[in-house]
Amino acid sequence: GAGVSQSPSNKVTEKGKDVELRCDPISGHTALYWYRQSLGQGLEFLIYFQGNSAPDKSGLPSDRFSAERTGGSVSTLTIQRTQQEDSAVYLCASSPSGGSEEQFFGPGTRLTVL
Amino acid sequence: KQEVTQIPAALSVPEGENLVLNCSFTDSAIYNLQWFRQDPGKGLTSLLLIQSSQREQTSGRLNASLDKSSGRSTLYIAASQPGDSATYLCAVDFNTGNQFYFGTGTSLTVIP
Protein backbone atom coordinates (compact mmCIF):
# COMPACT_ATOMS: atom_id res chain seq x y z
CA GLY A 1 0.00 0.00 0.00
CA ALA A 2 0.87 3.64 -0.16
CA GLY A 3 1.36 4.08 3.55
CA VAL A 4 1.30 2.41 6.93
CA SER A 5 -2.12 1.05 7.80
CA GLN A 6 -3.49 0.04 11.17
CA SER A 7 -6.60 -1.80 12.26
CA PRO A 8 -8.95 -1.39 13.90
CA SER A 9 -9.08 2.39 13.97
CA ASN A 10 -11.02 2.27 17.21
CA LYS A 11 -11.36 -0.47 19.80
CA VAL A 12 -13.49 -0.42 22.93
CA THR A 13 -13.04 -3.30 25.33
CA GLU A 14 -13.84 -4.27 28.87
CA LYS A 15 -11.25 -4.42 31.59
CA GLY A 16 -9.64 -7.84 31.72
CA LYS A 17 -10.17 -8.72 28.07
CA ASP A 18 -7.36 -9.32 25.60
CA VAL A 19 -6.96 -7.17 22.48
CA GLU A 20 -4.96 -7.43 19.28
CA LEU A 21 -3.89 -4.44 17.23
CA ARG A 22 -2.60 -4.84 13.69
CA CYS A 23 -0.05 -2.88 11.68
CA ASP A 24 0.75 -3.19 7.98
CA PRO A 25 3.99 -1.34 7.24
CA ILE A 26 4.97 0.22 3.93
CA SER A 27 5.93 -2.51 1.51
CA GLY A 28 9.66 -3.17 1.57
CA HIS A 29 10.29 -1.44 4.90
CA THR A 30 12.29 -3.70 7.15
CA ALA A 31 12.00 -1.68 10.36
CA LEU A 32 8.76 -1.44 12.33
CA TYR A 33 8.03 0.46 15.54
CA TRP A 34 5.15 0.57 17.99
CA TYR A 35 4.46 3.65 20.12
CA ARG A 36 1.76 4.59 22.59
CA GLN A 37 0.28 8.06 22.99
CA SER A 38 -1.66 8.59 26.17
CA LEU A 39 -3.92 11.59 26.70
CA GLY A 40 -1.85 14.68 27.39
CA GLN A 41 1.44 12.82 27.14
CA GLY A 42 4.09 12.42 24.51
CA LEU A 43 4.63 9.34 22.41
CA GLU A 44 6.12 6.45 24.32
CA PHE A 45 8.27 3.86 22.54
CA LEU A 46 7.09 0.27 23.00
CA ILE A 47 8.94 -2.09 20.67
CA TYR A 48 11.14 -2.14 17.55
CA PHE A 49 11.55 -4.84 14.89
CA GLN A 50 14.38 -4.88 12.36
CA GLY A 51 14.46 -7.63 9.79
CA ASN A 52 15.15 -11.00 11.34
CA SER A 53 16.94 -9.58 14.38
CA ALA A 54 15.59 -10.04 17.88
CA PRO A 55 13.17 -7.18 18.63
CA ASP A 56 14.00 -4.40 21.04
CA LYS A 57 11.29 -4.82 23.68
CA SER A 58 12.73 -2.33 26.13
CA GLY A 59 9.69 -0.05 26.00
CA LEU A 60 6.99 -2.58 26.78
CA PRO A 61 5.41 -1.44 30.08
CA SER A 62 4.55 -4.87 31.45
CA ASP A 63 4.46 -8.56 30.59
CA ARG A 64 0.84 -8.14 29.55
CA PHE A 65 2.15 -6.53 26.38
CA SER A 66 3.65 -8.54 23.54
CA ALA A 67 4.19 -8.12 19.84
CA GLU A 68 5.16 -10.23 16.91
CA ARG A 69 5.99 -9.65 13.31
CA THR A 70 5.26 -12.42 10.88
CA GLY A 71 7.22 -12.83 7.69
CA GLY A 72 8.99 -9.55 8.23
CA SER A 73 5.87 -7.61 7.33
CA VAL A 74 2.62 -7.43 9.32
CA SER A 75 2.89 -6.89 13.06
CA THR A 76 0.42 -7.58 15.85
CA LEU A 77 0.53 -5.93 19.27
CA THR A 78 -1.31 -7.94 21.90
CA ILE A 79 -2.41 -6.64 25.28
CA GLN A 80 -3.61 -9.26 27.72
CA ARG A 81 -5.94 -8.62 30.65
CA THR A 82 -6.39 -5.00 29.66
CA GLN A 83 -6.48 -2.30 32.34
CA GLN A 84 -7.99 1.18 32.18
CA GLU A 85 -4.52 2.72 32.11
CA ASP A 86 -3.92 0.92 28.80
CA SER A 87 -6.36 3.34 27.15
CA ALA A 88 -4.36 5.29 24.59
CA VAL A 89 -3.70 5.68 20.90
CA TYR A 90 -1.32 3.00 19.65
CA LEU A 91 0.76 4.14 16.71
CA CYS A 92 2.82 2.04 14.35
CA ALA A 93 5.65 3.34 12.18
CA SER A 94 7.97 1.86 9.61
CA SER A 95 11.22 2.91 7.98
CA PRO A 96 13.15 1.51 5.02
CA SER A 97 15.92 -0.14 7.03
CA GLY A 98 15.85 1.28 10.52
CA GLY A 99 19.07 2.71 11.87
CA SER A 100 17.53 6.07 12.56
CA GLU A 101 16.01 6.78 9.18
CA GLU A 102 12.87 8.79 8.66
CA GLN A 103 9.87 7.06 10.18
CA PHE A 104 6.45 6.92 8.54
CA PHE A 105 3.46 6.62 10.83
CA GLY A 106 0.09 4.96 10.50
CA PRO A 107 -3.15 6.62 11.64
CA GLY A 108 -3.19 4.76 14.93
CA THR A 109 -5.63 2.62 16.87
CA ARG A 110 -7.57 4.34 19.64
CA LEU A 111 -8.02 1.84 22.47
CA THR A 112 -10.55 2.50 25.20
CA VAL A 113 -10.71 0.14 28.17
CA LEU A 114 -13.92 0.49 30.16
CA LYS B 1 17.92 10.63 31.44
CA GLN B 2 17.21 11.38 27.82
CA GLU B 3 14.39 13.88 27.46
CA VAL B 4 12.87 16.07 24.80
CA THR B 5 11.10 19.27 25.77
CA GLN B 6 8.93 21.53 23.65
CA ILE B 7 7.98 25.04 24.64
CA PRO B 8 5.45 26.55 24.44
CA ALA B 9 2.79 23.88 24.83
CA ALA B 10 0.36 26.01 22.83
CA LEU B 11 0.71 28.95 20.48
CA SER B 12 -1.84 31.10 18.71
CA VAL B 13 -0.89 33.49 15.91
CA PRO B 14 -2.71 35.52 13.25
CA GLU B 15 -2.52 34.32 9.68
CA GLY B 16 0.53 35.50 7.80
CA GLU B 17 2.88 35.68 10.74
CA ASN B 18 6.23 33.95 10.78
CA LEU B 19 6.73 31.77 13.84
CA VAL B 20 9.29 29.58 15.59
CA LEU B 21 8.68 26.40 17.53
CA ASN B 22 11.32 25.25 19.98
CA CYS B 23 12.65 21.85 20.89
CA SER B 24 15.37 21.10 23.43
CA PHE B 25 17.00 17.80 24.27
CA THR B 26 19.25 16.61 27.06
CA ASP B 27 22.06 14.81 25.22
CA SER B 28 24.07 16.27 22.37
CA ALA B 29 25.07 12.82 21.06
CA ILE B 30 22.19 12.25 18.69
CA TYR B 31 21.72 10.38 15.41
CA ASN B 32 19.07 12.67 14.07
CA LEU B 33 16.02 14.76 14.86
CA GLN B 34 12.66 14.67 13.14
CA TRP B 35 9.77 17.13 13.15
CA PHE B 36 6.20 15.88 12.71
CA ARG B 37 2.76 17.40 12.61
CA GLN B 38 -0.27 15.67 14.05
CA ASP B 39 -3.80 16.66 13.17
CA PRO B 40 -6.60 15.85 15.64
CA GLY B 41 -7.46 12.16 15.60
CA LYS B 42 -4.81 11.44 12.99
CA GLY B 43 -1.38 9.87 12.87
CA LEU B 44 1.89 11.71 12.49
CA THR B 45 3.05 13.31 9.25
CA SER B 46 6.79 13.66 8.82
CA LEU B 47 7.87 17.21 8.03
CA LEU B 48 11.65 17.30 8.17
CA LEU B 49 14.46 14.99 9.21
CA ILE B 50 17.83 16.47 10.19
CA GLN B 51 20.81 14.15 10.38
CA SER B 52 23.35 14.78 13.15
CA SER B 53 25.87 16.07 10.61
CA GLN B 54 23.44 18.69 9.27
CA ARG B 55 22.57 22.09 10.65
CA GLU B 56 19.29 22.68 8.87
CA GLN B 57 16.71 21.34 6.45
CA THR B 58 14.15 23.21 4.40
CA SER B 59 10.88 22.21 2.81
CA GLY B 60 8.66 24.87 1.33
CA ARG B 61 7.70 27.33 4.07
CA LEU B 62 9.35 25.18 6.74
CA ASN B 63 12.91 25.40 7.96
CA ALA B 64 14.31 23.28 10.76
CA SER B 65 17.64 23.98 12.41
CA LEU B 66 19.78 21.84 14.67
CA ASP B 67 22.35 22.96 17.22
CA LYS B 68 23.65 19.85 18.93
CA SER B 69 26.06 21.65 21.23
CA SER B 70 23.25 23.57 22.87
CA GLY B 71 20.73 20.74 22.58
CA ARG B 72 18.25 22.77 20.58
CA SER B 73 16.25 22.62 17.40
CA THR B 74 13.83 25.13 15.98
CA LEU B 75 11.10 24.80 13.40
CA TYR B 76 10.48 28.01 11.52
CA ILE B 77 7.18 28.41 9.68
CA ALA B 78 6.98 31.31 7.26
CA ALA B 79 3.78 33.12 6.33
CA SER B 80 1.58 30.93 8.49
CA GLN B 81 -1.79 29.73 7.18
CA PRO B 82 -4.89 28.37 8.94
CA GLY B 83 -4.06 24.97 7.44
CA ASP B 84 -0.88 24.95 9.49
CA SER B 85 -2.98 24.56 12.64
CA ALA B 86 -1.94 21.26 14.22
CA THR B 87 0.25 19.85 16.96
CA TYR B 88 3.94 19.87 16.07
CA LEU B 89 6.11 17.16 17.58
CA CYS B 90 9.87 17.01 17.85
CA ALA B 91 11.50 13.57 18.04
CA VAL B 92 15.14 12.76 18.77
CA ASP B 93 17.14 9.57 18.26
CA PHE B 94 19.75 9.55 21.03
CA ASN B 95 22.23 7.30 19.23
CA THR B 96 20.15 4.18 19.71
CA GLY B 97 19.05 3.73 16.12
CA ASN B 98 16.04 1.94 17.51
CA GLN B 99 13.63 4.59 18.67
CA PHE B 100 12.77 8.23 18.79
CA TYR B 101 12.13 10.11 22.01
CA PHE B 102 9.24 12.52 21.54
CA GLY B 103 8.43 15.86 23.08
CA THR B 104 4.86 16.53 24.18
CA GLY B 105 4.33 18.88 21.27
CA THR B 106 3.29 22.44 20.58
CA SER B 107 -0.33 22.97 19.64
CA LEU B 108 -0.43 25.69 16.98
CA THR B 109 -3.52 27.65 16.04
CA VAL B 110 -3.35 30.04 13.10
CA ILE B 111 -6.24 32.49 13.22
CA PRO B 112 -7.70 33.58 9.87
The reply to whether B71 touches chain A by the CB within 8 Å rule is: no
Comparing A102 with A108, the larger pLDDT belongs to A108
Q: Which of A35, A44, A100 sits opposite B32 (nearest CB)?
A: A100
Give chain B's count of helices (H) and strands (E).
0, 11
pLDDT of residue B97: 65
pLDDT of residue B43: 84
Tell me the C-alpha distance between B105 and A38, whole Å.
Answer: 13
pLDDT of residue B33: 93
Question: Is the predicted pLDDT of residue A26 greater than 70, yes or no?
Answer: yes
Tell me the C-alpha distance between A95 and A33, whole Å.
Answer: 9
Nearest to B109 by CA among B6, B30, B14: B14
Tell me the C-alpha distance between B65 and A45, whole Å.
Answer: 24
Chain B partners within 8 Å of A107 (Cβ): 42-43
pLDDT in tens, B36-60: 999 987 889 999 999 889 999 999 9
Chain B partners within 8 Å of A102 (Cβ): 34, 46, 49
